[in-house]
Structure 1
Amino acid sequence: MNAESQKSVQWAKVIDHTRCIGCHACTTACKSENLVPLSVTRTYVKHVDVGVFPTVRRAHQVTRCNQCAHAPCVTACPTTAMFKRSDGIVDFDKSICIGCKACMAACPYDAIFINPEDHSAEKCNFCAHRIDVGLEPACVVVCPTQAILIGDMNDTESYVSQIINREAVAVRRPEKETLPKLFYKGAHQATLDPLAARRPDGGLFMWSEQQENSSQVVSGNPNYNNSSAAALLSYDVAHAIPWDWRVSLYTWTKGIASGVYLVAALLVLFGFVYLNNPLWLWVTPIISGIFLAITGVLLISDLEHPERFYLIFTKPQWKSWLVKGAFIILAYSLILALHLLMSIFLVRIIGPADNPFTPSMQRWAFFLLALCLPGLPLAILTAVYTGYLFAQAKARDMWQNPLLPPHLLVQATLLGSAVLLMLSFWLYPMTFDSLRPLMFLLAASSFVHVMMVWGEVSLPHATAHARVAIWEMSSGRYRRYFRIGLLFTILGGLLPLLPLYRHISIAYMPPDSITLIGVAGAPLALLGMMLYEHAYVQAGQSVPLA
């Protein structure tokens, strides 16, 4: 083969299920060749029983990485630890893997896992080390029926190219537009569709039991067959949920960090709060900074290699929204630090004043207002970038929502107004008129949030994966978090409405008491949002993909 043709090689794989006997020899050969530890696997054989006794058959599917031409794991990886070679093989570099699990969240085929021994992401890489020395992958060599075939898609003389171009083959989840280069010949649709087969009762599989817990996804459709055929999943392996409670909590703390600055800046710009008000000078930068620091701690602690977090900044892969988000948070933190330093300077040089527009204050008002020019956009970006990060997780259909970024902005407004309402009432003697804008913002943002959640749950979704995720959130394993969280958020939005009707306080109770009831909605809204975020993040990852 000459150098020019070598450059044009694009490796592909065909699994011929008319020959596959389901012997699992490929699984054991892969484990031996690549030293894959127990509890994880790069490839395995899935079994589905189709039909009703006595007219029943067992269908197989060899499951592994699909070597996508448009690999979402490569796009999502923040450090290029997942990369695509010139010959089309999607490979990995463990030395720069930070263990963020973004590749796992992005893979529509659940083909990536964290190695429990070295805590780095890995998957089937086509036995690239064997390909490079002219050998076939271990699974191809060991298969007793030659059901696994590899070849160059660009070579019209290769057997694989001829099968792909001339015979009926299928790929998994073509709607994801990843252009997989793993083709199935003669595979039953009940095996290719991860929701086509019903989950066995009690999670009892042929050789194993899958227990439902917070760290793994139980295989099979939890409700009904996504197929007219009577299909029952008889063997599959459990798959890990990539992002745990720390990512759920991160969305909450990040919402507070961005929302506090956003709401406070709006109050200042619209004249509800003076520039020398402690709410703007101290509460805003300190509270936002504290919760932004907590956000950073949560994100770093969720990494499998937290000591490598700096690689996001030193080896950034700019298509990854994890990288973009990290730099947005960094820039926002600098704005908050500058805000705090400027507040210290103003108080020491000028001193507090009842009127922000005294002659001495006018000279410095420009600088605080000018700080909002970069501060507001960065606060908004900090709030909404998670919507783009979740959308980059192509595997999670519920997160492919074009309204998620504006919804996150509404949530940040809700969280920010709730925190500022509590602190304003608790730390500083403020009158009801001063609290009115915060109460209104809390009530309005809670209403918009509840309406958007209602639309998410009640409207029909285009894919079965999104419908199962919504079911898991509202009626399945995360229903308690969702329902209690939604109830608390509704109460948190209703209670601040009471003080807005002055005739209630005059007729039934003193103004101070009714104001206290309105402020009491703030902690309820905060707790409700925390529970909702957990239900939303975890339910999005609860749908079987393999």
Structure 2
Amino acid sequence: MSNAARPAEPDLPRWAKVIDQTTCIGCHACTTACKSENGVPVGVSRTYVKSVDVGEFPDARRAFQVTRCNQCTDAPCASACPTGAMHKRADGIVDFNKDICIGCKACIAACPYDAIFINPEDHSAEKCNFCSHRIDSGLEPACVTVCPTQSIFVGDLNDPNSRVAQAVNREPVSVRKPEKNTRPKMFYKGAHQATLDPLAAERPAGGDFAWAQQAKGSGGFFDNIVPSGNPLGGNSAAATKLSYDQTHRSPWDWRVSAYTWTKNIGSGIYLMAMLLVATGFMSPDNPLWRWVAPIGGGFFVAVTCLLLVADLSHPFRFWLIFWRGRWESWLVKGGVILVAYSALLLAHFVSSIMGATWVSVWLMAPGAILAVLSSIYTAFLFGQAKARDLWQNPLLAPHLLTQAMAAGSAVVVPFAIIFAPQTTQCVLWMTGAATLVHLVFVGAEFTAPSPSEHARVAHYEMTRGRFKKFFAAGVALSAIGLLAPWLGVWVCLFAFLGPLAYEHAFVQGGQAVPLA
């Protein structure tokens, strides 16, 4: 049983926290106390006080929300963490171990509350952990002790006499994003809905807040700062405007966008060559199967692995994925799949050197399975990112496989002309057909009603907002790739690049929605 699913033992407390927003004065004492107690550097915070101005003059007021880790009962960050650095203790506290953090940022992508960040000094993930070192010593968290209005209090939910248990069981309290089913143990008393819902209040387009100005991103290929402005405005019926927030950086940048593309190409090259042999269009002795399939597939898988390691904040700890890997994490499963697929491609290459093509033929069945898994596992990895509604798509796995066939077959075309000219037209038709299915998936995704407001804003950012140029380029390039059967090899370049532009818009657009 995973740490995230293990229930608290009966003789241990079940720690929870209540924030009384009816008495919070927004003094930020909790923020400074947390920074002092835990040595949190400038530019990041384990806890901070968000504020929203509600109403219009003269009937206006400022509502506050103390924002931090929600100490989920079913913590998605713990499930997504590949090494157990993010873990749930037996007493319910979600804690972290910096010594085994690889900086993959999967926990950040999984957290629906935007409570986790990478410490710029030690490059490890951290968040509010209830001041667990103080709890273990019989003390209250630092934020509780300094709050001048006693608006923050902690206690044991298993103790019916504790103040927390009485507040949760007898008074109206709220939690953030109950639809995510994380069962948070962070309760708000008297919080305004405009503070609980990150999309409820209008966000200042320039990022100019009451006491701060957020960093502004350029929206370019290398930029992954969540924008301050909400192009769709707030979704609250009341007049609400965000007056203070902090800068939020999306966890996965262009390297993750590129990795989905290179991984798909590495899978598609092998699958396309295998189909030509399996259907009798080409002999197993053909150089396209003997050399292009293992070398081409292996090259793009190697680039994929380099991108994955380069994206880690602790790249030299990548081996911990296998040494301390937790099977609940799709980063671990994906790593195992990529290693197994690489080993199969190496065996294929060695058999070609030895002239034993029958070995590569026998490897076709497991090779096809591993190539498909290499392509589609990212759909399940993105599915663990509960924070991002755009990625919670049951059609994402077949869509990724379709992109693999489109881009992979586009790479195979020039080699088919050289080594197997009789298959060229077949490969061109496969490129066009896979590209057509890819565009059908895109059309289905963006013409169907959005399942949530979060997904609607993500769709907007992807198609008409910050990443519209990449989306438009991806669709246009793929549309030209449809003409491959008629216009020939040069058109395959468009089918090859189209998925790259689309994937960047998809990955970054999904992260461009504020969570806190």
Q: Same fold (TM over 0.5)?
A: yes
Q: Is the 8 A contact 1:197 1:226 kept in 2?
A: yes
* Matched letter for residue 326 of structure 1: G
Q: Is the 8 A contact 2:118 2:126 kept in 1?
A: yes
Choose which of 367, 384, 402 in structure 2 pairs with 1:410. Answer: 402
Matching residue of 2:485: 497
1:373 shift after superposition: 1.6
Q: 1:295 to 1:162 in 2, by over 3 A?
A: same
1:196-242 Cα offsets, whole Å, 9 max, x none, are 01111322111222213423113463312111111111100011110
Report the Cα distance in structure 2 between the residues aligned to 1:394 and 1:80, rounded to whole angstroms: 18
Q: 1:124 to 1:91 in 2, by over 3 A?
A: same
Report the Cα distance in structure 2 between the residues aligned to 1:331 and 1:141, rounded to whole angstroms: 52
Matched, 1:456 2:456: no
1:415 shift after superposition: 1.0
What does 1:12-411 correspond to in 2, within 5 Å? 12-210=16-214, 211-213=216-218, 214-219=223-228, 221-346=230-355, 366-411=358-403
1:252-285 Cα offsets, whole Å, 9 max, x none, are 0000001111111111101111111110000000
Q: Is the 8 A contact 2:107 2:116 kept in 1?
A: yes
SS state at 2:87 partner: strand
TM-score, scaled to structure 1 = 0.91
Report the Cα distance in structure 2 between the residues aligned to 1:230 and 1:21, rounded to whole angstroms: 21
Matched, 1:422 2:414: yes
Report the Cα distance in structure 2 between the residues aligned to 1:57 and 1:370, rounded to whole angstroms: 72
Q: Is the 8 A contact 2:286 2:419 kept in 1?
A: no
Q: Is the 8 A contact 2:288 2:419 kept in 1?
A: no
Gaps of 5+ in 2: 1-7
1:341 shift after superposition: 0.4
Report the Cα distance in structure 1 between the residues aligned to 2:9 and 2:88, rounded to whole angstroms: 18
Gaps of 5+ in 1: 347-363, 499-516
Report the Cα distance in structure 2 between the residues aligned to 1:45 and 1:294, rounded to whole angstroms: 42
Report the Cα distance in structure 2 between the residues aligned to 1:222 and 1:57, rounded to whole angstroms: 24
The answer to which of 442-451 and 214-223 deviates more is: 214-223
Q: Is the 8 A contact 1:281 1:343 kept in 2?
A: yes
Report the Cα distance in structure 1 between the residues aligned to 2:299 and 2:131, rounded to whole angstroms: 47
TM-score, scaled to structure 2 = 0.96
Matching residue of 2:4: none
Matching residue of 1:501: none
Report the Cα distance in structure 2 between the residues aligned to 1:5 and 1:329, rounded to whole angstroms: 38
Off by >6 Å, runs of 4+ in structure 1: none
Q: CA RMSD in A?
A: 1.3
Report the Cα distance in structure 1 between the residues aligned to 2:454 and 2:415, rounded to whole angstroms: 42
Matched, 1:484 2:493: no
Matched, 1:533 2:503: yes
* Matched letter for residue 217 of structure 2: E
Matching residue of 1:353: none
1:461 shift after superposition: 1.1
Report the Cα distance in structure 2 between the residues aligned to 1:252 and 1:312, rounded to whole angstroms: 22
Q: Aligned pairs, how many?
A: 504
1:445-501 Cα offsets, whole Å, 9 max, x none, are 11110011011111111100011111000000000010011101110112x232xxx
SS state at 1:39 partner: coil
Q: Is the 8 A contact 1:194 1:221 kept in 2?
A: no
Q: Is the 8 A contact 2:264 2:375 kept in 1?
A: yes
* Higher gyration radius (CA): 1
Report the Cα distance in structure 2 between the residues aligned to 1:11 and 1:45, rounded to whole angstroms: 22
* Matched letter for residue 497 of structure 1: P
Q: Is the 8 A contact 1:82 1:91 kept in 2?
A: yes
- Identity score, percent: 59
Report the Cα distance in structure 1 between the residues aligned to 2:485 and 2:31, rounded to whole angstroms: 61
Name the structure with the higher helix share. Answer: 1
1:75-110 Cα offsets, whole Å, 9 max, x none, are 000000000001000000000000000000000000
